[in-house]
Amino acid sequence: QKEVEQNSGPLSVPEGAIASLNCTYSDRGSQSFFWYRQYSGKSPELIMSIYSNGDKEDGRFTAQLNKASQYVSLLIRDSQPSDSATYLCAVLTGGGNKLTFGTGTQLKVEL
């Protein structure tokens, strides 16, 4: 079992819809969770971090964390074509020293 798992997609949503991206992790001791966005040919860019159970909202983005079920999700409201990218879930592991990344979910927002 991989430490951080994501569905590779592609996930296609129409413009204006809500995109829902999911991630599961195996290390129960993990405390810090991140979502990175990566455009094709570019470097990963941090868009959200979450440390406590529940929801955290930042603009059109909402991160959700459920430590008991070991999953973290990212919701993107009012999806725009510019949101089309690969979204990487990352979990702080190794006693809080290492970020382990999932393989990413490709999101396509269609006009």
Footprint of other proteins (CB under 8 A): 32, 34, 42-46, 49, 88, 92, 94, 96-104
Q: Smallest distance from the beta carbon of 108 to other proteins, in angstroms?
A: 17
Question: Based on CB atoms, which residue is closest to other proteins, 47 or 76?
Answer: 47
Question: Based on CB atoms, which residue is closest to other proteins, 6 or 84?
Answer: 6
Q: Smallest distance from the beta carbon of 16 to other proteins, in angstroms?
A: 30
Q: Smallest distance from the beta carbon of 70 to other proteins, in angstroms?
A: 18
Q: Smallest distance from the beta carbon of 36 to other proteins, in angstroms?
A: 8
Write out the two tokens for 98: 């290492």
Contacts of 41 (CB under 8 A, 6+ apart): none
Question: Based on CB atoms, which residue is closest to other proteins, 17 or 49?
Answer: 49
Question: Based on CB atoms, which residue is closest to other proteins, 79 or 93?
Answer: 93
CA atoms within 13 A on the CB side of 2: 14
CA-based nearest residue to 67, from 103, 33, 22, 101 = 33
